[in-house]
Structure 1
Amino acid sequence: MEVRQFLRQYANGKRSFVWADLRQANLTGVDLREVNLSRANLTEANLSRANLTGANLTRTNLTRTNLTRANLTDAVLRQANLTGALIDLEALEPQAYVGAILPDGTRFELPAIAESEAAEPAPASAEPVAAVSDAASHSQHSDTSQSGTSKAAGDPLLAPAQGTQWQQPPPTRRSILRKRSRSLPWPNLILFGLGYGGLGLFLYLHQAAWIGWPLVWITAFLWLVGEPYLWFMPVAAALAALVTTGLSVVAIAVAGLASLGLFGGLKMLGWPWSRALRDAIWVGGIGAVLVAIASLAFYGRDAYSGGGIILSPTLPLALLILLGSLCIGVGSMAQLQLQEASWVRSHMARLLSLDAGVGLLLGTLVGWLLAH
């Protein structure tokens, strides 16, 4: 989204800009009170001296964002990504950025607040301690046996004060892994692996070159480039499988014409170069995949001589490409679900790459079993 469009819509009364893409936007000193930028991408944006009173920045990507002297009164930055950001967190209540990734890369967790709050009732134990000290002062005027008795009687009085300082032991690694496994989006992860498994089976049955497997697997990392590239994953995975098995000239021509036509149209509408080129390549890739699927599914060489278009013997390969890319597209939503569950990017990358790799291996194994 362009900055001018964003500010114009805000001036017209719109306040919700969820998932907005405002990377490197210059919003210095802008009044954005009560704006909802939840899950928006504000990487390297300049929000210095901006008025963000009551703003909703939940799960917002604020990596290397300049927030110096910004008014963040009543703003909510829960689970936001503040890696490398310039921000004064001391001016905020800790509850406002619970679960956020701090500028130094560490995550501010809720238990840290719970422990600080749990430590507040400690002064309530001052009365028993005071009573013990009073009893000790009176015992100085009595004999040694009575003083020993008073100390022995005072020990139970010290127990409540000691008990208020008891803290719950930290969770074990096993309990953390068990809790994390319960929060996994299993349906989408299974679909994600099945999609790559279908492409692995396609590669084996089509006797693709060995480079096809690593090329398809690398597409599982595309979301790391940026959240919009999450939608490139199914198209890129299908194209990687088709390129290594031979992509027809017709498919390449359709992709090129579609990309050029859409790019020109988007530029005429005033879209920025980077976004217009990205979306044009995405649409062109979809066109190339569809043409390749059609060429695998149908045989139309005798159409002009009256033979018509008939189903091709390679129809199962076309279905593998189609179903595989669809499963990857739906399963890739697991990345958004993991992000909402406060997973770190490195952990998400390991999980999704492992899921894709296991899918490719299982698909290849199924192809080997079918061939033998």
Structure 2
Amino acid sequence: MNNIAGRWRLLSGKNHWEGLLNPLDIDLRSYLIHYGQMTQATYDTFISEKASKFAGASKYAKKNLFARVGLENGNPFKYNVTKYLYATSQIAVPEAFVVKPLPDDCWCKESNWIGYVAVATDEGKAVLGRRDIVIAWRGTIKTLEWINDFQFLLVPAPIVFGGKGLGDPKVHQGWYSMYTSTHPKSQFNPTSARDQVLSEIRRLVDLYRDEEISITVVGHSLGGALATLNAVDITRNGYNKPTNAPERSCPVTAFLYACPRVGELIFKKAFTELKDLRVLRVENILDIVPKYPVFPYLEVGEELKMNNQKSPYLKSPGTISTWHNLECYLHGVAGTQGLNKEFKLEVNRDIALANKSDNSLKDENLVPVSWWTEKNKGMVQQEDGSWELMDHEKDAF
């Protein structure tokens, strides 16, 4: 990390990252790892243990999130989480095709914790060069979310683009549904993920209107798709402008890791009209997810391609899982020298993180497989000697 505060506009894509991607700029490496770690936090705090009555929620409260997922020690980028986000995973198929009810797969029917909004502290602002607002979106974990991922139908997006004279932009049905749908029986989704995040962005942009602000939207896999929709929505509908000063817009940047394609040609044209928005997609060439869905879906923004097979630390050739793993992506960012050059770590990033949730590292690195686990799966011994499942902080909602 050399001079991020002085270069933040360039690093956030002011010039579409011209001259920064090949070779990969050292500050941009740190920048991409920083935002990737904020995305990884959405996995590290998610309760996926089906035995838990809180399965589908966050283990940790907003005030403790970054400390509990290891993003406090040695990290100069300081933020406070201001809001948790929840999304529904609904099945949008004709009734005639539903032969039996789907299992009750999550903690409050179809509603699950999907990410968060955070804002740079005064200390973080000094390092970053501005008051950065981050929106982090989680990738696919729950069964119903996998079903949403495979709803390939292109549908109009009127909530995002309605009444704008843009023709008829179309996007992936499943991801648009997750972003915009509500669930009246859920205490967390009487409003959509979209409404939750936009109301918080409006509040924060108005609160810090007298400062220099940026909005950074980040996500991995499914989270990258939701981040794409969210970043377009924020910019298109003016949520990056203070309520009482609409002439003052702040830049919106989306950093997307292993992101699938979201929309078709008219969506891409609408995207290119957004002057305040920049998107950088990070792709491991072995990963199939960024290549899906196929035509007529199209990519948007700029692209940083890596070949993680070049790393001497990772197993070769690897697996579909390790090629897509976010920690392996960040390992790649730390050392990629381009598609045709040898791998060399340029950022001091612990290689052990590549085995956090998978079996990615070569055995000689002596790092346990999938080592990120809750001690005893959250079973805590009580004073009377009994054991109780306590895997969820009291104020984690």
Q: TM-score, normalised by structure 1?
A: 0.23
Larger Rg: 1
Query: Which of the pair is proportionally richer in helix?
Result: 1
Query: Which of the pair is proportionally richer in strand?
Result: 2
Q: TM-score, normalised by structure 2?
A: 0.22
